[in-house]
Amino acid sequence: MIQQMLERFAIATRGRGLYEVTREVQGCVARARVQMGLCTLHLQHTSASLLIQENADPDVRRDFETFFARLVPDGDAMFVHTVEGDDDMPAHIRTALTAVNLSIPIAEGRLCLGTWQGIYLWEHRTTPHTRTVVVHILGE
Amino acid sequence: MIQQMLERFAIATRGRGLYEVTREVQGCVARARVQMGLCTLHLQHTSASLLIQENADPDVRRDFETFFARLVPDGDAMFVHTVEGDDDMPAHIRTALTAVNLSIPIAEGRLCLGTWQGIYLWEHRTTPHTRTVVVHILGE
Amino acid sequence: MIQQMLERFAIATRGRGLYEVTREVQGCVARARVQMGLCTLHLQHTSASLLIQENADPDVRRDFETFFARLVPDGDAMFVHTVEGDDDMPAHIRTALTAVNLSIPIAEGRLCLGTWQGIYLWEHRTTPHTRTVVVHILGE
């Protein structure tokens, strides 16, 4: 019979950058003792996001930062919402351009990630933050 | 035992902009009488999107419009698909850059949204449209 | 009683471009014999994505390519990760700007897609690749 489980975990970020959380999520899947099912992640913030990306070459993560810094520059004169800092509105936009929820099937007790896929929490603020991820697992 | 529910609701937009639908979705969750579960939203359109973003300062929404208007300008000469108007192809691209489905866990009978998270329907066309959101709820 | 099914299908791409997979996914839904439920798609790659977009005018797909080629240019000098080719880092970024998973409710035995919505696999690499989509279906 199909059952469900809900967990939360927190990540303390050291400011802007990609933090891998694949192991934390696999831990939730293992505790749920689900062989086949669906894992949904929801990040409860508006200035950080969840991203599935290459887990091999660290240059990929560096290039992500370079590209997004050019696409949505901190302190851009077009922004009106600046009271929370030069990086706040860009952080909201970077979040909108990526995602705050992910849904990943589970097979044989593990997330169906591809060989090169890792799950990352992408902190978009320049200062450290504590970010909470809600993990919902459904299956049997 | 896990059960499911499917609902639809329509939003009449007044043209481009962010329309909050958090209350409509919470209403569906309440009617489903689910304490713990998963809520999936799907928007049945290709020129509007669903976005989870800050629900506090209206300037945030204004800055979103400013940024996206610069990123994907209406009437850009590069676009070939212009028969439905100068804002149509930009609306498709803005939709692709954001999302048409969201998955949010439910705990204690409510969506697991963060303190500052609201759910928005983002109308990308400049003229009014009626937009339909399908809401699937699973849980117990 | 709610049941689930997991399938995989592969798409051989001929290089960069949008490949419609709506029929493949509807086939999975039909085989699952689910009247009402939820279909989750997960693409197991980091340089291709899943997109729900207009299935009518082919110019829309062409304009998507034009826009993304300008937004994330192949061979841009800012990129450090270039060992896998000029189009590799742009392919990762195009993937991050779109999505690798989609969740679509099922009603009356069919995906709840809007009239103009088609499901596409978007190949971002310039050379042919074989891409695997995992399909999880839950419902009754």
Mutate to test the interface with C, among A39, A49, A54 (most CBs of C within 10 A): A54
- For B2-100, list the strands marked E by DSSP: 3-12, 17-20, 37-43, 48-54
How far apart CA B40 and CA B8 sit, in angstroms, is: 12
**Which of C116, C127, C52 has the alpha carbon at shortest distance from C84?**
C127
Query: Which residue type occupies B59?
Result: D
One-character DSSP codes across C30-52: HHHT-SSEEEEEEE--SSEEEEE
Among chain B residues, CA nearest to C63: B79
Per-residue pLDDT, averaged over C5-17, amounts to 98
Q: Which of A6, A43, A89 sits opposite B60 (nearest CB)?
A: A89
Q: What is residue A9's predicted lDDT score, i.e. its pLDDT? A: 98
Q: Minimal CA–CA distance to B45: which of B137, B134, B119?
A: B134
The model carries a pTM of 0.98
The pLDDT value recorded for residue A56 is 87
Cα nearest neighbour of C70 on chain A: A71
Query: At A98, phi and psi to the nearest 5?
Result: -115, -115
> Cβ distance C104 to C28 under 8 Å?
no
- Token pair of C74 as six digits: 């192949």
Nearest to A22 by CA among B41, C6, C46: C46
pLDDT at B85: 96
Residue C56's pLDDT is 87
Q: Please answer yes or no on whether A101 and B102 come within 8 Å at the CB atom.
A: yes
Collapsing DSSP to helix, strand or coil, C57 comes out as coil
C134: alpha, beta or left, given left = phi > 0 and alpha = psi -120 to 50?
beta
d(CA B95, CA C52): 9
B: neighbours with 3+ CB pairs under 8 Å?
Answer: A, C
pLDDT tens-digit profile, chain A (140 residues): 899 999 999 999 999 999 999 999 999 999 999 999 999 999 999 999 999 999 888 999 999 999 999 999 999 999 999 999 999 999 999 999 999 999 999 999 999 999 999 999 999 999 999 999 999 999 99
Q: How high is the pLDDT of residue B125?
A: 98
pLDDT at residue C46, as a whole number: 98
Q: Which residues pair with C104 in a beta bridge?
A: C39
Residue C70 — left, alpha, or beta (φ > 0 → left; ψ -120 to 50 → alpha)? Answer: alpha
Orientation angle between helical segments C88-97 and C58-71, nearest 10 degrees = 120
pLDDT tens string, chain B, 140 residues long: the values are 899 999 999 999 999 999 999 999 999 999 999 999 999 999 999 999 999 999 888 999 999 999 999 999 999 999 999 999 999 999 999 999 999 999 999 999 999 999 999 999 999 999 999 999 999 999 99
Q: Express as a percent the part of chain C with pLDDT over 70.
A: 100
Cβ of C2 within 8 Å of Cβ of B6? The answer is no
pLDDT tens across C24-34, in order?
A: 999 999 999 99
Which positions in chain C have a beta carbon within 8 angstroms of at least one beta carbon in chain A? 1-4, 6, 38, 40, 42-46, 71-72, 78-81, 83, 89, 92-93, 95-97, 99-101, 103, 132, 134-136, 138
Residue holding tokens 């999302």?
B99
Please provide the size of chain B in residues: 140
